Amino acid sequence: MKCQFCNCADSRVVDSRPTDDGNSIRRRRECINCGRRFTTYEKVEVQQLLVIKKDNSRELFDANKVRSGIIAACHKRPVSAAEIEKIVNSIEQVAYNTLQEEITTRQIGEMIMDSLRSLDEVAYIRFASVYRSFTDIPTFMHELKSLISDRDDK
């Protein structure tokens, strides 16, 4: 790390500790050349992940959008905030671990539905009805029958 005072490229770490938010490491350094001290911060470089929407437009992945969709589906259901956060974190982790630069809304929606299906069936149906754009009763009934059939198979 280059010293900000004398531009020497050699320094040594005197102290190292995590920041309050835990997302980076604060390092106190001492320049080998001039002996002055300065602070640097080290953090993980986050890969940008683009989401391909239905209309083929692209936007940055936003975990808050995933969270708000799940919260809406779980409204007045016995699902804790911790369970919602666990789903959001899981989906975010899977999305970034694909090591791809893009993911489709379809892939994200399917992950959300898989998680909700095993967590709360009503929340699952609520999310699926919006996500899959149920337009009539037969489509809705088909999804309900599928859910019941899966439950009976277990």
pLDDT at 141 over 90: no
Query: In the chain, how many H helices and how many E strands?
Result: 5, 6
User: In this predicted model, what pLDDT tens digit does every residue of 19-31 receive, in sequence order?
Assistant: 887 778 999 999 9
Q: What is the DSSP string of 95-129?
A: HHHT--SEEEHHHHHHHHHHHHHHH-HHHHHHHHH
pLDDT at 7 over 90: yes
pLDDT of 3 reads 92
Q: pTM, whole model, 2 decimals?
A: 0.64
CA distance 78 to 152: 22
pLDDT at 154 over 70: no
pLDDT of 125 reads 87
